[in-house]
Amino acid sequence: MLQKRVIVCLDVRDGKTTKGIKFQGNVDIGDPVQMAAEYYAQGVDELVFYDITASAQKRGIMIDVVKKVAAEIFIPFCVGGGIGSVEDIRQVIDAGAEKVSLNSLAVRNPEIIRQGAEIFGSQCIVLGMDAKKDLSMPSGYRVVINGGRTETDKDALEWALQAQELGAGEIVLNSIDADGMKSGYELNLTKMISDAVKIPVVASGGAGSPEHLYDVFDKANADAALIASMVHYGDYSIGNIKDYLYRKKISVRLS
C-alpha cells in the first residue's frame, strides 16, 4: 500500500506567510523560509508554496523566496501562483522546485498542461483546482480561479478528467467552502475526484485536527492531505499528526 503524504501549504503574500478563511481576511503569520525549515525538521513529506496574489496582481512569482525555501529543505517542493508560461515553469524548477502548480493559467489556457508535461514530465505538473458547491453544475461543483474571486463555466469533475488527459501528474483539490474553516475536508468532493482519476489527488481546505486527515484518507481515498492552519498556529506538530494516523492504521512515513 502506498504511503499517505502529509503536505504543509505556505500561502505567501508580499514575502510573508499568510492565512485567511475562504481566501479572505488574510493575516501575516511568519517568514516562509523559516517556517519551511521548521516543517522539514518536523518530518513533513512535502511543501507547497503559493504566491497567492501573483495572479490577481498580474505579476511573476517571487523567485528569490522560492530559491531560499528550496535551499532549506530536501523533500518534494511544489510552487504555484503567478506562473504564466512554459518559461515561468522552467524558472521555478531551476530555482529548486520539483513541481509546479497550475491553476488560473491552466483554466484560461489548458494547453499549458500538455506543454509542461511534454517538456518537464507529468510528475512536475500539478493541477491546482479551487472548487465550490454549485448545484447547477453536472458534478455539483464549480471551478473558481484568481484566488476564489472569479467563477468559471468549468465543472470540477470534467476539469479534473480533462487535466489528467492533458498530462497533469497530480491534482491539488481545494474546497473553497471548507478552506480555513478547520471543520474537516470536503469528503464528497474529494472522493468523487479521487475515484474518477488515476493520478494522485491531494485534499486541501478545512483540516483542523488529525481526525480530519484520517477521514479524508479512509473515507475519500485521498493520496495526500494539505494542511496549514492546524500547524501554523501551533495546535499540532507534524509528528503529532503522523503518530495519530499511524495508530489509526494509516500508512505514513515516520521520521
Q: pLDDT tens, 88-139?
A: 999 999 999 999 999 989 999 999 999 999 999 999 999 999 999 999 999 9
Query: Where does the pLDDT of residue 58 fall: very low under 50, low under 70, confident under 90, or very high at 90 and above?
Result: low
Render the burial of 115-145: b for 16+ CB within 10 Å, e for the rest. bbbeebebebbbbbbbbbbeeebebbbbbbb
51 in active site: no
130 in active site: yes
Extents of the domains making up the chain: 5-247
Choose the catalytic residue: 45, 51, 88, 130.
130
Choose the catalytic residue: 11, 88, 155, 215.
11
- Considering the domain 5-247 in this protein, what is its CATH number? 3.20.20.70
Tell me which H or E stretch contains 96: none
Termini Cα distance of the chain: 18
Q: What percent of the chain has pLDDT over 70?
A: 92
